[in-house]
């Protein structure tokens, strides 16, 4: 699910100021309200911010999803095959980008896909912005 | 609905290490809306790990079908991910605007109510906390607490 070449992610990364530390999420483009939900994210954290998490740090990224307030908490990348260059490391700074197919994950947990969704992620000490979106049946 | 406010992030930087310093237990700052957590330190495997906090919401923030209850989802991210729910003490906060038996009054919608709580982390998560660095937080709807970095040590007691 990590895709460095995604134009959306590149645009996101380009918006981060140099001093930014944390995670930022954006909703993927959708044709209509019945289209699947995807989120794109970028992160830039220090080593100390993710101390104790597995490497690459994205393996410890947590997705917190609520569909009509029914929560689901998972690590979407923990079981993925990750490679050392999935993240960029420069001195003390770790940065990367990711894409999560929220609807695909939600379909495994919820009986219905339609509803009001709240989505955020965490990585070590950092919490992202919270996104909200509605999905029609 | 707002994400974690700058005030909440600032609050998170307050170094509170021990619940024994009860006078310094988390308190919402003036005007702050959301959730604040602090965890007992040091934390050891096999021993209760107390977490204290506050929930400061108005009626507009209560989004649950239970009119009088609060629900927080706790997340402990670290060597192993664990999460669990806490249903609060059932104390009346305000009537839920969505599902309450009666329509809330305008004052209930806007009145801020603060509840303080203490939970045992292993009980909330439904499993013992593993040794290592744990990043702990709680959320309800779009409100996310500060993140507590907790170092859980192996129990050295023979």
Fold of domain A7-135? Immunoglobulin-like (2.60.40)
Q: What is the CATH number of the domain that holds B95?
A: 2.60.40
- Among B3, B4, B63, beta carbon nearest to A69: B63
**B49 within some domain:** yes
Name chain B contacts of A66, Cβ cutoff 8 Å.
141
**B158 within some domain:** no
Spell out the residues 6+ positions from residue A4 whose beta carbon is closer than 8 angstroms to its own: A97
Size of interface A-B (CB pairs under 8 A): 72
Torsion of CA A22, B54, A132, A61, to 10 degrees: 40
Supply the range of the domain harboring residue B10: 6-153
DSSP class of residue B22 equals G
B158: number of Cβ within 10 Å: 3
Burial of A49 (0-12, 13-18, 19+ CB in 10 A): buried
- Among B1, B79, B144, beta carbon nearest to A132: B1
For B66-105, the pLDDT digits (tens) are 433 457 899 999 989 999 988 765 544 443 444 344 555 6
Domain assignments of chain A as residue spans, ordered by start: 7-135
ipTM exceeding cut-off 0.90 for this assembly: no
* Average pLDDT score over residue span B2-17: 38
For A47-65, the pLDDT digits (tens) are 999 999 888 889 999 999 9
For B95-142, the pLDDT digits (tens) are 344 434 455 566 666 666 677 778 889 999 999 998 999 999 999 888
Name chain B contacts of A73, Cβ cutoff 8 Å.
73, 75, 81, 83
A8: number of Cβ within 10 Å: 17
**B117 within some domain:** yes
- Among B4, B75, B133, beta carbon nearest to A64: B75
For A89-125, the pLDDT digits (tens) are 888 999 998 999 999 999 888 888 899 999 999 999 9
Quick one: pLDDT at residue A49?
94
User: Chain B: which residues have CB within 8 Å of chain A?
Assistant: 1-4, 63-64, 71, 73, 75, 77-79, 81, 83, 85, 132-135, 137, 139, 141-142, 144, 147, 149
């Amino acid at each position: 699910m990590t895709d460095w070449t995604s134009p959306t992610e590149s645009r996101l990364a380009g918006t981060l100021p140099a001093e930014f530390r944390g995670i930022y999420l954006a909703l993927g483009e959708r044709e209509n309200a019945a289209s699947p939900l995807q989120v794109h994210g970028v992160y830039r954290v220090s080593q100390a911010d993710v101390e104790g998490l597995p490497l690459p740090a994205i393996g410890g990224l947590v997705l917190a999803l609520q569909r009509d307030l029914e929560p689901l908490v998972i690590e979407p990348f923990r079981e993925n095959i990750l490679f050392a260059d999935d993240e960029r490391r420069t001195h003390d700074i770790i940065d990367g980008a990711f894409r999560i197919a929220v609807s695909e994950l939600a379909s495994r947990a919820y009986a219905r896909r339609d509803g009001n969704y709240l989505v955020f992620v965490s990585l070590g000490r950092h919490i992202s912005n919270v996104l909200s979106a509605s999905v029609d049946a | 609905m707002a994400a974690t406010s700058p005030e909440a992030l600032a609050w998170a930087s307050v170094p509170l290490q021990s619940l024994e310093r009860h006078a310094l237990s988390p308190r919402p700052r003036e005007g702050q809306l959301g959730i604040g957590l602090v965890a007992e330190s040091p934390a050891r495997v096999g021993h209760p790990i107390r977490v204290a906090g506050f929930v400061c919401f108005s009626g507009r923030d209560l989004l649950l079908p239970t009119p009088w209850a609060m629900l927080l989802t706790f997340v402990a991210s670290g060597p192993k991910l664990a999460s669990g729910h806490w249903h609060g003490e059932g104390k009346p906060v305000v009537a839920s605007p969505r599902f309450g038996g009666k329509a809330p009054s305008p004052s209930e919608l806007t009145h801020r109510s603060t509840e303080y709580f203490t939970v045992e982390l292993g009980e909330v998560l439904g499993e013992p906390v593993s040794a290592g660095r744990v990043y702990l937080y709680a959320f309800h709807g779009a409100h996310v607490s500060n993140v507590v970095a907790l170092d859980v040590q192996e129990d050295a007691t023979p």
